[in-house]
Structures are given as C-alpha cells and as structure tokens.
A and B are shown apart, each in its own frame.
Chain A
C-alpha cells in the first residue's frame, strides 16, 4: 500500500476499490454468524476454560517417551464455581461435574441446535449424540451455579 494513499485521486480510488472489493468478496454468511453470537451476551454464567486435554497431554508424553495412548479422549474445563470432566466415547459425551451436584446441562452447537441432559445427584451426565461442529456446554446446578465452557470442537 502506498504510504500516502489519500493524496492522489488515482491512488485513493484504487485503495477505495480494494476496500470495497474485500467486503464484497466476503460471503454474506460470514457476518450473519457473527451477528447470531450476540445471544450469548445475555447469558449470565462463569466461563469454564479448558485446563486439560488428553489428546494434547498424550502428544507431550509421546514426545519424551513412548506410552500407551488412551482410548478415550478426556477434557477438563475449570471455572471458579465448578469443574466439568468430559469423556468422549463413541457417539456420546459422558461427564461429571465437581463438586458433585444435580442440575442440567445444555450442549449448544454453533448451528443453534441445543441438546439438554440431566445431571444426577453425583454430578454425572450423558449427552447421547456428540454435537456436530463447534459447541459449548452450559451447566446449571441446583445450588445455583451457572457455568459455560469455551468453544469445543471434537
């Protein structure tokens, strides 16, 4: 880009052309998805971030010494209020929240599709179908905790 693109009419026009074309080349859907994310703004929940991923841990172990790879991928999300342990089995997500307590958990896909599961007294839950694409887990417990995980893609 010219350092003083605004002085010369031809340069300004060319620069403007680039700017307008960039926006036109962008698929309309790209902005629509961004607009839809605003629904998350009103959700009053603590963010639980990924603090452990067996797939990542395994790679680190492999780098230093050979070890038996785990069959199940497991993920841990941690927030100030509670921890969500997640295991990815074939076709389902099995999990437990710590400290154990009852509640409900929603798996919210980027597509807008939501699957809801019950969390039992010992904090266990099962989400029967692994959401396609990216999703987040939103967990609300009887004690009043409300926690939402970061974006997950399996």
Chain B
C-alpha cells in the first residue's frame, strides 16, 4: 500500500471527532465504494445497503485501523465482502429450488480482479484530487475535452475565448500540471517502478 500522508491526517482528525475530516473521507472514497457495487451489478437498493454497512463499519473501526494509509484497501475489501453478503442473501430464495451459484468461490475468482480494482480506485481518487486542484481555466478546458460526446474545438475556442491553435498547447500544459500534483505524482512514481519499462519514463515524466 502506498503511503498517502493526507489519508493518514484525515483519519487521525476523524478519530478525534472532526466531522469535516470524516466528510472529506466519504467524499473521496464514496466513488470507490459505489463503483465496486456497480461492478457487482447490485440494484440501487442493495448498493445503498452496502454503502451504509461499509461506512458504519469504518466508523466503528476508525480507532482500530492499524494503518490509516491503507484505508483505500480496507474500504475496497470491506465493500466487496458486503457485496457478496448482499448477493448471497438475494440468492437464498433460489437456493432450495435450483443450484445456486457457488458464491464462496467468488472471492477467490475475484482476487486478481480485486487487486486491479483497488489500483484503479486509488488511481481515480488521485486523479480526481489532482483535477480538483487545477486552476479553474484548466478545469474548464479539461472538462470540455473529456466530455462525452466530445466538444468540438471551435466551441471550446469560443467558450474559453482562446484561439483553436492554443487549445493543444494549453491541454498539454494542464495535463503536465495534473501529473505534478503531489499525490498523483507519488502514485505515478510508485506505479512506474512496478510496471515493466517504468524506469525509462517514471520520474522523468512527472518532473519535467
């Protein structure tokens, strides 16, 4: 698990009863919990149920968490367990008449996927944080660039009042700025060390 000092600080503050720190933890990681529920194809009712259980468990375990920096991993594991609990409960009715899917094997089957899911979730958290820390002009430009369906350059140009020719350079500058946001830079650096060929890029990319 990567060390994220800001997670540790948030957990410590929340332990001491700081509601704002708790709210920030929830804002940061609710999409992680939610996306895991979605990947398990839970109904919205079941998703709410899982969400409640996960946050309640976290409130209860907050003081007992041995490694606060490992919070994302703890949340991902707890969410998956709760998803399986809900799926199992839903399968109860069918269990007697038909052959139920063997949900006990689910965690094993998912083990590799789970690790990937956690990496994705952590990456997404860092990306959203970095995006939120960008200057407003960059945020507006990037919002239009990631819009689905894509916003035509002519429209971006008129909305932001910049020439079409400078959209490309601005895009590059904003993305470089995004990469340099410290938690994201740390994550990129950590991932480049675990990915083959990472040494060639890694740190140099985030430093330039």
Contacts and interface: CB of A to CB of B under 8 A. Distances in A.
Is the A/B pair a real complex?
yes
Given A19-B124, A30-B34, A110-B52, A12 B175 contact: yes
Given A22-B35, A26-B34, A35-B23, A41 B17 contact: yes
A31 B26 contact: yes
A20 B146 contact: yes
Contact of B22 (A13, A17, A41, A47): A41
B30 A1 contact: no
Contacts of A3: 195-196
Interface string B50-89: 0111111011101000000000000000000000000000
A94 B8 CA distance: 43
Interface residues of B, number: 57
A17 B59 contact: no
A34 B30 contact: yes
Contact of B146 (A7, A17, A26, A41): A17
B59 A20 contact: no
B193 to A, nearest CB: 12
A20 B128 contact: yes
Nearest to B86: A153
A18 B17 contact: no
Contact of A151 (B53, B120, B128, B143): B53
Contacts of A14: 146
Interface residues of A, number: 39
A3 B116 CA distance: 11
A33 interface: yes
A34 B53 CA distance: 9
B127 interface: yes
B102 to A, nearest CB: 14
A60 B35 CA distance: 33
Nearest to A18: B124
Interface of A: 1, 3-7, 9, 12-23, 26-27, 29-31, 33-35, 37-38, 40-42, 47, 59, 62, 110, 134, 151, 153
11 contacts: A7-B205, A13-B145, A18-B124, A29-B48, A34-B26, A34-B30, A35-B22, A37-B56, A42-B17, A134-B49, A151-B56
Interface pairs A-B: 6 shortest CB-CB = A17-B146, A19-B124, A31-B30, A34-B26, A34-B55, A19-B127
